[in-house]
Amino acid sequence: MLPETRHAPAATRTALDFGADTYNVDAMRETLPRPVFEKLVATIQRGERLDSKIADEVAHGMKEWAVARGATHFTHWFQPLNGQSAEKHDAFLTLSGDGEPLVRFSGGQLIQAEPDASSFPSGGMRSTFEARGYTAWDPTSPAFLMRHERGATLCIPTVFLSWKGETLDQKTPLLRSVEEVSRSACRVLKLLRKPAARVHPTMGTEQEYFLVDRRFWDARPDLVVAGRTVLGAPPPKGQQMEDHYFGAVPERVLAFMEDVEHAAWALGIPVKTRHNEVAPHQYEIAPIFEDVNRAADHNMLLMEIMRRVAARRGFACLLHEKPFSGVNGSGKHNNWSLATDDGRNLLDPGSDPHENASFLLFASAVIRAVHRRGNLLRAGVASAGNDHRLGANEAPPAIVSVFLGEALTDIFDACAAGKAADVTQKTIVELGMSRLPQIAKDNTDRNRTSPFAFTGNKFEFRAVGSSQAIQVPNVFVNCAVAEALDEVADRLEKRLKAKQDPTAAALAVAGEVYRESKAVVFNGDGYTQEWVKEAGRRGLPNLRDTPAALGVYADAEARKLLTSRGIFLEHELDARYLIQLEIFVRSVEIEASVLLRMVDTGVLPAVLKQQEAAARSLTAAKAAGAKVPAQEKAFAEYAAGVDELLARKAALEAALVKIKKAHPEAPAHARWVCDELRPAMNAVRAASDALEARTEGALWPFPTYHQMLFQ
């Protein structure tokens, strides 16, 4: 903390400390010569090509800033295709010719590094013996300090490429997709006579998570290795009383939240909102909007901060989409919009949405994108964890649809019919009590069941999973919207060539596009079976699980979109398909393996002890001449439950033997995992959970749901 802030109020310290551990514009201004500073800022803010001649001076300034704050090492921080971040630390220390220690950091070290690429997922693009890979500096995302017990490490956000130039990371496609949607949006704005130099997607990512006591986590092998409980009987009370959502935050949890916030603020992560979520011990943290590249980096960092702080505070932070069966899972609501370089939000209706032709045109393009590329958006959120959540009466269904709300739907319907819409943005809710203020009523309600909902000045992609990196979902959103905006621009150009007024042309095109894509708009309850049937009649895909959703990687139209816009090469798409299939199969295989281990080493010993004790008690009662038919029946039922567990365990073991002989990246193998392995796991769990509910608590070997969720 800076000396002058030491005695400042907490809120003031927060503002002064924000970004203190990032090499931001203020730090650059202080440490770089003015010409170097101006060139670097032009790259960051205006997208100009980086001048490699300034690299040494930037590296020196960055090193001086970092060392002054306790850094001893630097690393290129990148995001390989395993969904995590990666780093290899190097000391600033070097030796002079005569062996004297020096602290140096060169422009070459800043711009490029060479981590071993052979041990990261590559989908066949790299063989084990082909180890060379490159990381390259992304100057648009600020370098930052990751602090630890004895100092700090300077982390430099980078892309990750193979020796041949193939993308091996999540960041590179995102940056390319940002350029694509910017180009397409600028084209539309130019036609509307509202030009912009650049347009960038903005993102505010609401992160849901669970906290459990660390001692319970340590005693649950499934939570440790799989992130979710693969067995566990439901507690007497779960979330039935609806008494946790927005409730008072427990003191211990609040201390965790405050530690996370302060660490995040120092790293320039603009976290703003914290609250209890629906399920017991479930919470949410949400930031202010930023450009999507920085938001993606920040979300990766935030998840790491949460895990570290939780461990220090005696918690485990569970980011899995469904850590507990029978209670709500966790998502990561992806609030997406488009903003110009001069600060205009292109999805903000303004005060008169029915007159805002630009807004309606851009909103219609998003609707078009979701309608045409819903299968691509579904693939972007596909994972083994999210399969347990999507459509489970707590999250959006696997059918991708758009919620607009009554008012905006009326406006679009009027546009599609060529009529003017008489709809005001807000009305007043009268509370009927003189001492309370009037409330302005928004022109749209919220719809928790919609995967892609308009929420006032943005679209909320609610189907993203809580453990996911947000890069891939946003690559697909950006590309789909860029395609739709180009179509909108083509139609607009034709009308303008015919001398039509720009506003009238924009409204006409918005109406056309909406009319052709209206099938994807649904404002009702997405949880109902009626909607599933209706969606089928509308021709909307229902990709219920990960193998079905990932099939889009083999879809010719989707591949054409992604390759024609330079986001991926053909073989890069093939590689990602194989990687995602293998991750899915391996994830479920690990869950099955830990389930069997827990049954063998914990559940069976416990239930056999219970059975033995019951048998002795029953024998003693009979020897004393007692007639105990109810006890005999209970014993027989319990023994039958043990037999059922053993039989179901044997079936699961046979399924696992079969899976280990197959190729995990094969689509048919992933399908089999869904259709055969998961049902076998569910059968074992059902037998185990039934026995848990009838076994003495002191004998049960693992922390129960009641302990984990309420203690």
Any idea where the domains of the chain sit in the sequence? 3-165, 181-568, 584-710
Q: If pLDDT is split at 50, 70 and 90, which confidence band does 207 have? A: very high
In whole angstroms, give the CA distance from residue 414 to residue 403.
17
3-class DSSP state of 50: coil
Q: Are 144 and 268 in contact (CB under 8 A)?
A: yes
Per-residue b/e over 111-134, b at no fewer than 16 CB within 10 Å?
bebebebeebbbbebbeeeeeebb
DSSP bridge pairs for 429: 439
Query: Mean pLDDT, to the nearest integer, of 637-659?
Result: 94
Q: For domain 181-568, give the CATH number.
A: 3.30.590.10
CA angle 171, 174, 178 (to 5 degrees): 140
Q: If pLDDT is split at 50, 70 and 90, which confidence band does 130 have? A: low
In this model, does residue 350 exceed pLDDT 90? Answer: no
If one counts every other C-beta atom within 10 angstroms of the C-beta of residue 501, the result is 12
Q: If pLDDT is split at 50, 70 and 90, which confidence band does 128 have? A: low
pLDDT of residue 431: 45
- CATH architecture entry for 584-710: Up-down Bundle (1.20)
pLDDT of residue 3: 40
Q: For domain 3-165, give the CATH number.
A: 3.10.20.70
Query: Mean pLDDT, to the nearest integer, of 513-535?
Result: 93
In this model, does residue 120 exceed pLDDT 70? Answer: yes
Q: Are 485 and 361 in contact (CB under 8 A)?
A: no
Phi, psi for 428 (deg, rounded to 5): -105, 135
377 CB contacts (<8 Å, ≥6 apart)? 370, 400, 451, 452, 461, 463, 473, 476, 477, 480
392 CB contacts (<8 Å, ≥6 apart)? 322, 329
More confident residue, 576 or 239: 576
Mean model confidence pLDDT for the chain:
89
Please tell me if the domain spanning 181-568 has the same topology as the one spanning 584-710.
no
pLDDT of residue 199: 96
Least confident window among 83-97, 233-247, 356-370: 233-247
Least confident window among 178-187, 513-522, 574-583, 659-668: 659-668
Q: If pLDDT is split at 50, 70 and 90, which confidence band does 4 have? A: very low
In this model, does residue 114 exceed pLDDT 80? Answer: no
pLDDT digits (tens, 9 = 90+) for 209-250: 999 999 999 999 999 999 999 999 998 876 665 666 777 889
In this model, does residue 74 exceed pLDDT 50? Answer: yes
pLDDT of residue 2: 37
In this model, does residue 427 exceed pLDDT 60? Answer: no
Query: Mean pLDDT, to the nearest integer, of 291-309?
Result: 97
Query: Mean pLDDT, to the nearest integer, of 396-424?
Result: 82
Q: If pLDDT is split at 50, 70 and 90, which confidence band does 5 have? A: very low
DSSP state string for 627-657:
--HHHHHHHHHHHHHHHHHHHHHHHHHHHHH
164 CB contacts (<8 Å, ≥6 apart)? 125
In this model, does residue 429 exceed pLDDT 50? Answer: no
Beta strand ranges found along 384-525 (DSSP E): 402-403, 427-429, 439-441, 452-454, 459-461
Q: Which residue carries 């009319």 as its tokens?
A: 515
In whole angstroms, give the CA distance from residue 631 to residue 707.
29
In this model, does residue 35 exceed pLDDT 90? Answer: yes
In whole angstroms, give the CA distance from residue 172 to residue 176.
6
Q: If pLDDT is split at 50, 70 and 90, which confidence band does 536 have? A: very high
pLDDT of residue 98: 79
Q: DSSP letter for 552, please.
A: G
Closest CA to 578 of 684, 664, 646: 664
